[in-house]
Structure 1
Amino acid sequence: MGIDPGWDYNVGRASALGRVGTLFMDKLTSMPARIDASMAADFPELALDAIAEDVRSWMNNVKAGKLSKAGGNRVVGAMSLITVEKLNAIGVMPETAAITLKQRSIKHLIAEERKGDKALPEELVSEIAALLQDPKAVV
């Protein structure tokens, strides 16, 4: 039994695309910010959706305690070239355009002891990669 091509969704292809996208995003940490931002801007939207899904899955694993207690980082987005250039104009020179999130930061953001007005909703944290694709502001 297979997936009918008419369903317009290939599970294996989507999964592979997410991993390729994530590997690409991980490379952003090793290049200058202007190159990072330019490359990220040209990344296809389909791949960005796959990256967002991969980050969402990673975060769900972190929340479930399925990942290393030692921690780990994940590139969840990239600053735009305009943002990098504006930072440079005011004398701030980022080493990279990559936006990373630490595994322990996820746990901290959604921790039970932070409930109330300080905690972020888990749904918001899980969607961070998708939200970074269309930011409304840079603070």
Structure 2
Amino acid sequence: MAFETTPFGAIAAPGLAFPFVTHSIETGILQEDKDSEGGFALWAKTGTAGEAGKVYVNKPENGVFLGIAQRTMFNDSYRAGMTVNVLKKGRVWVRVLGEVVSGDAAYVNDTNNAFTATSTGGTQIVGGTFKSDAADGGLAELEIA
């Protein structure tokens, strides 16, 4: 996936973290394949023994939103068993489902794991707010506080 220029002139790509912004990033072991360079939702299971450090692309039963996969320069895609950087706080570019407006609360659609401003059928990203406008399928700046 190539880098894109946003409507206001910024260079962006899904999962690319913003410079000069404080981030909280942890590492997890991916349990599923994902054909992406970053910028996708990551989930954890709760209430299940032996799950420490495991992260999922698809929301599991008893799943909680963990963070967003940070883009790395050496991964074109992720395979089960690989480590992935999980951005838990900070600012990152994400591809959105539906139009989003700066200031909108951020959600992850429970069906397709897309980032959206629509609460119906979604899981709220606690502290998640869009910081830029974007059209459906576009890139938006998302902050997790």
- Judge same fold: TM > 0.5, yes or no: no
TM-score (norm 2): 0.24
**Which one has the bigger strand percentage?**
2
- Larger of the two Rg values belongs to structure: 1
Which structure carries more helix by proportion? 1
Choose between structure 1 and 2 for higher RCO, CA contacts under 8 A separated by at least 6 residues. Answer: 1
